């Protein structure tokens, strides 16, 4: 008989260890493992981790087999793994209805349960009796299902089970926006059952999605139908959110040792090596002790001060757990595995040696890992005074099977029985390895032959849709509909993937569906969705952004291929020339470099060879489907009730003259009012836009009057809000006569005015009988008018009609979720509360739009503008996250006000005129203005006349330190303006009238935004007013200095709180929260947001910043609440005294009416002899003089 080798003897030892600590507890029927002999419930997460040692030992026996018995042992161990994984699968499949419901609701009540009955796979507690929603638990199951399948285990048996796993993919792919209870099951660390977004859940979901993508669950015996499909855009969203969170773990936990499972084995979810190292060092620095790592700061679990009779903690109680947190040896097993994968043998040896010293040793050489080590009750004071000095005692489960399993797995790899790659067959360990540069392929497709010829004249090679056949080009929404069929199973009542918009990573692949090849255009080009795609400059900008995004985020085999269609809307000048913005972009694409991306253009057929391609096997023919079923299906998807066209008369003039018809002469402006009188329209002023029937009236808002650009005795129209309109019976107005008038009216503006009256009286669904079709409603007329306004690029009219039609930006909820997932809160509506509404959790699209409409007080244009700003913010946070550093709340209404203010300052116009400019701006210009405000750079805005246009164009320029633009320095701006004005002198009066007309298309918005305090227009030097602008912008954006929140936490340790008028930020906040928590930052933001004026808010931020210097000084505890506003006013008085002594008059020292602060102080630089910080420092010294140390050196 062959003797046993040393390796065989050692393996047998680990087999005894596995049997005595893990397998002896496995249920013989279900295969599940209980938490402990005392706790018989089976937790999903613990079961998966506990079986890893069995899986690894099975592979070790198969690899190092000395005899046939070893191979048999390997098979036995592998089947134990399969039995447990299938047991968990059965538990989840018994709750299949929850999986289906959760896909649509993301509710905690529809979550899969976190634990099950060990013997029956049944649930053990109610839906609301446990923190069941734990995305990481489901994800760890899916991750190791993929890893084990790749290693050769056969766990999934039927296509029904494949469909269920596919639906579990849909369950976890929304992890980036779902607040759950996390890997410690209690959510917020107060244990009050408050779910929060957890980095551990997002990271584990990302790892599971990547592992399952294109994986055949039947292994080598499978076919196309057993392959799992994952959308790359969902993976990338998880990655973006994960990177934005780390090293923070959640809103209430600034660091968590559980993140070790995300940055290293098993997830390897983080691709930035510097972020991995930063997170690891944070864990070691803040959480590591002599017996392991504590889970997170102020963790009260099983500490001697915890009340075992309560599940929750009082907020102020968390302070008592500081320095007493239990230490878990579990996390050192992660550190051992991390060292093995990184080939850092020094780290491996250090942690193995440290772990060996705290293992509980039993007879037979059995070594057990306890759950945790706790401070003895009689050593509490000693440990608090000198952390990590007291000898602790083991508590909790013995062994802790999760930790025991990872310990054994680490030993098997460290001792050479397994290679690190064998427990990671899908090669996730290479996540941080740099990838080669990506080349983005762009195929230009012309909508018509005429467009193709027009492109050819400029040297741009393109194909028509007919030319690219047999490749079929479809819009992105069709791909979304196709993916909605993925995972459908009628027998199991699974509906498939919920309909969601397709991201650019998804549309940049080519798809094989049966015998056909499909290419899909990007989502942002779909003009059916919203008016943003009507702006060609915006389309070009979004293309640039998406190409850059593809270069950064593409992870697939093969190159991304973007199909860029050139449509009729990109043709100008009587439909003969290409839009200059589009043409310039196409030329840059052909040059091979655009927007920071390497680009290769070509025909779709020639790019096919190097493209990334996906076979959509779930679209294969079923037994009852005919060969042409796909064509029928796609036709059904593309079919939608087309809007009725040619309902409204069109101006007879062609080309430019057709649009110039909007530029009325003065008598034309009054004609409609006379027609209204002739039609016996009572109270016509209630229905016509106010500009047509305006009468001279002094401005009613004193704030706006003092702040606007009003000249002496200047008068503006008095505008009536729609909510104040009296109810008028429809019998008072002959709407049928208005309809007859509409039939002969060919001007867009007049058509809108007439429809607006009918809309006000009859509502949007009134049948106008405009045509023989009996169902021609006001809605149909508005839709056609919207289309015509889009062709004419009448952006103010477009926005107002969009509001009347209650149009929604389809990706609004996704944009809002993106901002929230990046730990940013939103407020919509104009301040103050209760008009301003806060959004702190994702909402469905309908609920979100209703909330915005309510916050906008039914003002349609403000609601639409709010939607636009939210979408633009989401675009920027995805592409330029550095813009949002130290910003935790976006106040959309305040941002809109500041944008209007900037226009008023730069254009030297009234607040009303600035608001009209804002609403009439092109989407691209609006997005550019927002970017300049976010970036904090100095800029100027000017209004210029453009040749062959009836509208004036807003131009935005960067300023240098002298206040000059690049064009100014080059000396060419004046020349450009002269060139643009050439040939336009005769049309100047017409343009002015058109601008005046367009400004009145939004009859009820200007008076809403005009309440923003606009500073005086005497900005002769562009640098004058610079600091006021900066404070106003930073205040509106809630931007604070780096490290501000940590400094506030420190000063709260030395006083009872900070106060502003009726708002108080109490020092008790620090007893619950640590300085690095987002939760604490949100509390500070809530306190600061009680200040309605952005520049005043920013001055108070500077005041608090000066106050925080006390925390760095040797200052005794201040036993009172500090009045921040009082200090600011003291500084203001000191400033006025100094300026008065220097000869400043009352006009120069004018005070802001609302806050009482001198406007010149707002416009003072922080530093310098007369800087704001100088006076704030003096005021702080005076306010807290008795608390300063005797020498005063620290404050000095």
Rg (CA), the chain: 34
Q: Is 232 helix (H, G, I), strand (E, B) or coil?
A: helix
Cα 497 from Cα 166, distance rounded (Å)? 9
Alpha carbon distances (Å) from 902 to 870, 909, 938, 958, 1001: 19, 10, 11, 14, 22
The HSE-up count of residue 1025 (CA atoms within 13 Å, CB side) is 21
3-state helix, strand, coil in the chain (%, to 5): 50, 10, 40
| Angle subtended at Cα 724 by Cα 719 and Cα 727, rounded to the nearest 5 degrees | 120
Which pTM was predicted?
Answer: 0.84
441 φ, ψ to 5°? -90, 135
**What pLDDT is recorded for position 946?**
55
Contact 150, 425 (CB under 8 A): yes
Per the model's pLDDT, the better-predicted residue between 128 and 841 turns out to be 128
The answer on pLDDT for 709 being more than 70 is no
Residues 40-53: b if buried by 16+ CB within 10 A, e if exposed: ebbbbbbbbbbbbb
Give pLDDT tens digits for 148-206: 999 999 999 999 999 999 999 999 999 999 999 999 998 999 888 899 999 999 999 99
Which pLDDT value is given to residue 714? 32
Helices (H) and strands (E) in the chain, counts: 47, 27
Residues whose CB falls within 8 Å of the CB of residue 155, separated by 6 or more in sequence, listed in order = 82, 85, 86, 89, 145, 148, 149, 217
pLDDT at 526: 76
> What residues does 489 pair with on adjacent strands?
494
Instruction: Please enumerate in sequence order all residues whose Cβ is within 8 A of that of 935, keeping only pairs 6 or more positions apart, or say none.
Output: 883
- Angle at which helix 629-638 crosses helix 476-483, to 10 degrees, equals 120
| Structure confidence at residue 110 (pLDDT) | 95
Least confident of 622-626, 752-756, 918-922, 1087-1091: 622-626
**Taking residues 797-806, what's their average pLDDT?**
86
Residues near 1003 by Cβ (< 8 Å), separated by ≥ 6? 689, 690, 691, 719
Confidence (pLDDT) at 1003? 41
Q: Give yes or no for residue 428 having a pLDDT over 60.
A: yes
pLDDT score at 667: 35
In terms of DSSP bridges, do strands 471-474 and 516-520 run parallel, antiparallel, or are they unpaired? Answer: parallel
Q: Is the dihedral of CA 1037, 1040, 1045, 1049 positive or negative?
A: negative
pLDDT of residue 635: 66
Cβ pair 681, 757 in contact under 8 A: yes
pLDDT at site 513: 87
- For 804-869, the DSSP string reads HTT---TTHHHHHHHHHHTT-EEEESSSSTTTSEEE-S---HHHHHHHHHHHTTT-HHHHHHHHHH
Per-residue pLDDT tens digits for 605-657:
999 999 999 999 888 766 655 555 556 666 665 554 445 556 666 654 433 33
In this predicted structure, the answer to whether residue 1195 has a pLDDT above a threshold of 60 is: no
Residue 750's pLDDT band (cuts 50, 70, 90) = confident
**Do 441 and 36 meet the contact criterion of CB atoms below 8 Å apart?**
no
Cα(667)–Cα(352) distance, rounded to whole angstroms?
A: 91
pLDDT at res. 1007: 43
pLDDT bracket for residue 1018 (50, 70, 90) = very low
- Spatial contact of 759 and 781, defined as CB atoms under 8 Å apart: no
Q: Is the confidence at residue 679, as pLDDT, over 50?
A: no
**pLDDT value at residue 718:** 24
The angle subtended at Cα 211 by Cα 208 and Cα 212, nearest 5°, is: 85
Determine the pLDDT at residue 624: 59
Interval 296-301 mean pLDDT: 95
pLDDT recorded at residue 771: 73
| pLDDT above 80: residue 444 | yes
The per-residue pLDDT for range 76-119, each reduced to its tens digit, is 999 999 999 999 999 999 999 999 999 999 999 999 999 999 99
**Cα 58 from chain centroid?**
43
- Give the strand pairing for 439-446 and 561-566: parallel
Mean pLDDT of 700-711: 33
Work out the pLDDT band at 283, boundaries 50, 70, 90. Answer: very high
Find out whether 620 and 514 touch, Cβ atoms under 8 Å: yes
Q: Is the pLDDT of residue 663 over 60?
A: no
Of 604-618, 803-817, 1109-1123, least confident by mean pLDDT is 1109-1123
Q: Which of 471, 768, 792 is nearest to 602 (CA)?
A: 471
**Res 654: pLDDT:** 38
pLDDT of 773 reads 65
More confident site: 680 or 211:
211
Q: 246: burial class by Cβ within 10 Å (0-12, 13-18, 19+)? A: buried
pLDDT at 772 over 80: no
Query: Does position 1137 have pLDDT exceeding 80, yes or no?
Result: yes
Please name the residue that has the structure tokens 């987002």: 1078
Closest CA to 996 of 658, 659, 651, 663: 663
* More reliable by pLDDT, 792 or 347: 347
Let me know how long the chain is: 1196
- Report the interhelical angle of 845-855 vs 860-879 (nearest 10°): 120
At residue 1115, the pLDDT reads 65
Residue 1116 is predicted with a pLDDT of 65
Q: Which tokens is 1077 given?
A: 């928590």
Q: Which two tokens stand for residue 776?
A: 């021609």
**Given pLDDT bands bounded at 50, 70 and 90, which one contains residue 720?**
very low
Q: Out of 37-46, 196-205, 648-657, 901-910, which region has the weakest mean confidence (pLDDT)? A: 648-657
Are the C-beta atoms of 749 and 794 separated by less than 8 Å?
no
Q: Is the pLDDT of residue 305 over 60?
A: yes
At residue 745, the pLDDT reads 82
pLDDT value at residue 651: 54
pLDDT band at 1181 (very low <50, low <70, confident <90, very high): confident
| C-alpha distances in Å from residue 14, one per residue of 84, 366, 402, 405 | 20, 9, 16, 11
> Beta-carbon neighbour count of residue 520 at 10 Å?
25
The angle formed by the CA atoms of residues 193, 195 and 197, to the nearest 5 degrees, is 155
Instruction: Give the pLDDT band (50/70/90) at residue 838.
Output: confident
Lowest mean pLDDT, pick from 47-61, 631-645, 728-742 = 631-645
> What pLDDT was estimated at residue 795?
87
Higher pLDDT, 855 or 886: 855
pLDDT of residue 701: 32
Torsion of CA 461, 466, 471, 472, to 10 degrees: 120
Q: CB within 8 A of 880, min separation 6: which ones?
A: none
Among 318-332, 640-654, 669-683, where is mean pLDDT lowest? 669-683
**62-76, 287-301, 1011-1025, 1029-1043: segment of lowest average pLDDT:** 1011-1025
pLDDT value of position 630: 56
Query: Average per-residue pLDDT in the chain?
Result: 83
Residues 552-576, mean pLDDT to the nearest whole number: 87
Predicted pLDDT at 413:
97
Kindly report, residue by residue over 5-26, the tens digit of the pLDDT: 677 889 999 999 999 999 999 9
Instruction: Give pLDDT, residue 1102.
Output: 94
Residue whose tokens read 């017409």: 990
pLDDT at residue 964 is higher than 60: no
Please tell me the distance from the alpha carbon of residue 607 to that of residue 600, in angstroms, as a whole number.
Answer: 9
Per DSSP, the three-state class of 597 is strand
Lowest mean pLDDT of 314-318, 744-748, 861-865, 1124-1128, name the range: 744-748
Report angle CA 314, 315, 319 to the nearest 5 degrees: 105
Q: What percent of the chain has pLDDT over 90?
A: 49
Beta bridge partners of 360: 368
Q: What is the mean pLDDT of residues 369-397?
A: 94
C-alpha 1165/C-alpha 1156 separation (Å) is 19
Tokens of 560: 């991304």
State how far the Cα of 1054 lies from the Cα of 644, in Å rounded to an integer: 69
Q: What is the mean pLDDT of residues 661-677?
A: 38
At residue 656, the pLDDT reads 36
Is the pLDDT confidence value at 294 over 50? Answer: yes
Residue of 960 and 422 predicted with greater confidence? 422
Least confident of 271-285, 418-432, 847-861: 847-861
Cα end-to-end distance, the chain, whole Å: 87
- Structure tokens that stand for 690 in this block: 């106010």
**Structure-model confidence comparison of residues 2 and 929, the more confident one:** 929
């Amino acid at each position: 008989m062959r003797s046993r080798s040393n390796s065989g003897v050692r393996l047998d030892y680990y087999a005894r260890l596995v049997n005595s600590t893990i397998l002896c507890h496995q249920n013989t029927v279900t295969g599940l493992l209980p938490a402990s002999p005392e706790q018989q419930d089976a937790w999903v997460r613990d079961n998966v981790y506990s079986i890893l040692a069995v899986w690894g030992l099975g592979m070790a026996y198969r690899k190092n087999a000395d005899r046939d018995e070893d191979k048999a042992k390997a098979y036995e161990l592998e089947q134990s793994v399969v039995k447990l994984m299938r047991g968990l699968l059965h538990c989840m499949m018994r709750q299949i209805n929850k999986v289906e419901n959760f896909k649509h609701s993301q509710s905690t009540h529809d979550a899969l349960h976190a634990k099950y009955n060990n013997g029956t796979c049944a649930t053990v507690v109610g839906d609301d009796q446990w923190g069941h929603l734990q995305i990481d638990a489901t994800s760890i199951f899916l991750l190791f299902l993929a890893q084990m399948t790749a290693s050769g285990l056969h766990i999934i048996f039927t296509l029904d089970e494949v469909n269920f796993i596919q639906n579990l993919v849909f369950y976890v792919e929304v992890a980036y926006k779902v607040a759950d209870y996390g890997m410690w099951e209690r959510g917020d660390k107060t244990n009050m059952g408050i779910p929060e977004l957890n980095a551990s859940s997002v990271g584990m979901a990302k790892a599971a999605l990547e592992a399952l993508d294109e994986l055949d669950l039947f292994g080598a015996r499978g076919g196309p139908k057993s392959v799992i499909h994952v959308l790359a855009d969902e993976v990338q969203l998880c990655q973006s959110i994960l990177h934005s969170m780390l090293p923070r773990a959640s809103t209430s936990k600034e660091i968590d040792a559980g993140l070790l499972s995300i940055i290293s084995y098993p997830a390897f979810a983080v691709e930035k090596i510097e972020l991995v190292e930063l997170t690891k060092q944070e864990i070691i620095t803040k959480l590591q002790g002599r017996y392991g790592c504590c889970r997170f700061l102020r963790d009260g679990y099983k500490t001697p001060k915890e009340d075992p009779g309560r599940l929750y903690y009082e907020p102020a109680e968390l302070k008592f757990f500081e320095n007493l947190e239990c230490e878990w040896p579990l996390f050192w097993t992660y550190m051992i595995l991390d060292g093995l994968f990184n080939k850092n043998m020094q780290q491996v040896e250090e942690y193995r040696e440290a772990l060996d010293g705290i293992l509980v040793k039993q007879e037979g050489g059995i070594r057990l890992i306890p759950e945790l080590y706790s401070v003895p009750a009689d050593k509490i004071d000693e440990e608090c005074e000198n952390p990590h000095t007291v000898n602790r005692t083991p508590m909790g489960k013995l062994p802790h099977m999760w930790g025991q399993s990872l310990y054994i797995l680490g030993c098997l790899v460290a001792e050479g029985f397994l290679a690190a790659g064998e427990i990671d067959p899908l090669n996730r360990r290479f996540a941080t390895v740099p990838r080669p540069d990506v080349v983005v392929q762009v195929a230009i497709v012309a909508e018509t032959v005429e467009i193709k010829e027009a492109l050819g004249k400029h040297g741009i090679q393109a194909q028509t849709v007919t030319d690219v056949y047999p490749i079929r080009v479809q819009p992105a929404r069709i791909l979304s509909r196709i993916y909605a069929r993925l995972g459908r199973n009628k027998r199991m009542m699974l509906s498939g993937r919920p309909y969601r918009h397709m991201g650019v990573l998804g549309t940049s692949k080519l798809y094989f569906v049966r015998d056909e090849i499909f290419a899909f255009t990007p989502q942002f080009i779909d003009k059916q969705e919203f008016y943003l795609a009507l702006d060609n400059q915006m389309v070009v900008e979004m293309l640039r952004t998406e190409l850059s995004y593809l270069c950064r985020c593409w992870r697939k085999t093969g190159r991304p291929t973007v199909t860029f269609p050139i449509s009729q809307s990109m043709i100008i000048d009587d439909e003969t020339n290409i839009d200059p913005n589009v043409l310039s972009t196409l030329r840059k694409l052909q040059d091979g470099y655009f927007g920071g991306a390497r680009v290769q253009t070509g025909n779709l057929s020639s790019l096919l060879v190097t493209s990334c391609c996906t076979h959509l096997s779930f679209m294969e023919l079923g037994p009852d489907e005919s060969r042409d079923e796909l064509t029928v299906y796609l036709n059904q998807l593309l079919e939608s009730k087309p809007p009725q066209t040619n309902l409204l008369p069109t101006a007879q003039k062609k080309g430019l003259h057709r649009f110039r018809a909007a530029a009325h002469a003065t008598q034309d402006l009054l004609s409609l009012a006379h027609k209204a009188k002739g039609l016996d329209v009572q109270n016509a002023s209630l229905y016509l836009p106010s500009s047509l029937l305006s009468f001279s009236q002094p401005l009613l808002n004193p704030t706006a009057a003092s702040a606007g650009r009003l000249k002496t005795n200047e008068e503006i129209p008095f505008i009536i809000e729609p909510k104040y309109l009296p109810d008028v019976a429809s019998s008072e107005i002959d709407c049928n006569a208005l309809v007859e008038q509409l039939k002969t009216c060919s001007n867009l503006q007049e058509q809108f005015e007439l429809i607006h009256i009918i809309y006000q009286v009859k509502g949007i669904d009134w049948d106008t009988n405009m045509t023989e079709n009996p169902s021609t409603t006001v809605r149909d007329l508005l839709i056609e008018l919207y289309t015509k306004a889009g062709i004419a690029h009448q952006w103010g009219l477009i926005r107002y009609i969009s509001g009347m039609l209650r149009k929604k930006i389809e990706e609004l909820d996704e944009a809002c979720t993106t901002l929230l997932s990046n730990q940013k809160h939103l407020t919509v509506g104009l301040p103050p509360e209760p008009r301003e509404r806060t959004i702190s959790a994702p909402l469905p699209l309908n609920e979100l739009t209703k909330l915005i409409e309510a916050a906008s007080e039914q003002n349609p244009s403000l609601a639409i503008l709010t939607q636009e700003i939210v979408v633009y913010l989401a675009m920027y946070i995805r592409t330029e996250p550095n813009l949002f550093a130290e910003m935790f709340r976006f106040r959309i209404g305040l941002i809109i006000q500041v944008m209007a203010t900037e226009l008023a300052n730069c254009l030297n116009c009234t607040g009303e005129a600035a608001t009209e400019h804002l609403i009439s701006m092109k989407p691209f210009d609006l997005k550019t203005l927002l970017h300049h405000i976010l970036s904090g750079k100095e800029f100027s805005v000017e209004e210029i006349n453009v040749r062959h246009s009836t509208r004036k164009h807003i131009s935005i320029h960067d300023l240098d330190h002298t206040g000059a633009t690049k064009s100014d320095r080059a000396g060419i701006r004046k020349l450009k303006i002269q060139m643009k004005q050439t040939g336009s002198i005769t049309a100047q009066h017409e343009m002015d009238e058109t601008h005046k007309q367009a400004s009145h298309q939004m009859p009820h918005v200007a008076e809403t935004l005009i309440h923003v305090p606009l500073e005086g227009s005497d900005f002769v030097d562009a640098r004058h007013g610079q600091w006021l602008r900066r404070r106003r912008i930073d205040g509106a954006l809630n931007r604070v200095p780096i490290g501000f929140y940590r400094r506030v936490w420190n000063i709260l340790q030395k006083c009872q709180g900070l106060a502003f008028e009726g708002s108080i930020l109490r020092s008790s906040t620090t007893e619950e929260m640590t300085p690095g928590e987002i939760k604490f930052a949100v509390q500070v933001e809530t306190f600061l947001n009680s200040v309605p004026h952005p520049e005043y808010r920013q001055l108070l931020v500077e005041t608090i910043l000066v106050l925080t210097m006390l925390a760095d000084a040797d200052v005794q505890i201040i036993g009172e609440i500090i009045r921040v506003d009082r200090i600011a006013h003291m500084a203001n008085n000191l400033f006025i005294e100094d300026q008065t002594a220097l000869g400043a008059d009352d006009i120069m020292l004018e005070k802001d009416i609302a806050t009482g602060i001198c406007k010149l102080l707002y416009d003072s630089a922080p530093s310098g002899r007369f800087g704001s910080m100088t006076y704030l420092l003096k005021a702080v010294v005076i306010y807290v003089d008795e608390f300063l140390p005797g020498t005063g050196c620290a404050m000095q």
